[in-house]
Structure 1
Amino acid sequence: MGQSDRLDQGFVPIDATYDSAYWELYAQMFSSGAALTLLDTISATIPASGTLSTADIASTTAAVRTCVENRSQALKDALAGQ
């Protein structure tokens, strides 16, 4: 077997470790709802100012919430398909 075979074999544990860590992070942050809780906590601490209105904060929070919800659903679907 050639050099590339040894390299390919060397990456298998890394891939498995990555996948394991990735799904653990998914469980901790997305499926548990922690990401949305953190979003709410953080957005509640952002003060309105002359250049940042409460409407801006609410709008941005809603946009991030949509991204987190979409990502959460995509990951849930991916995990179900494994």
Structure 2
Amino acid sequence: MKFNRQVAIPLVYKGAVLDTAYRLDILEENLVVVEIKSVERLERIHVAQLLSYLKLSDMWLGLLLNFNVPLMKNGIKRLVNG
């Protein structure tokens, strides 16, 4: 499986381009955006961040991974853009 990490997403606002406005933690096979966290619990702001990344990158599937959990399956949240 191919992946890229720290993928820059440009932001265009009123004709101005910010080349590295946002960075994806991991882009898997140019299909899945993976956002990595290590927090007490996932908050709505983390979900909003991943949804913004999905919209800006024109991707439809994202995974939010929180490594600060006793059981990893409890730290995975799947999000779909659309």
- TM-score using structure 1 length: 0.31
Q: Which has the higher helix share?
A: 1
- Structure scoring higher RCO (CA < 8 A, sep ≥ 6) equals 1
Q: Which has the higher strand share?
A: 2
- TM-score using structure 2 length: 0.31
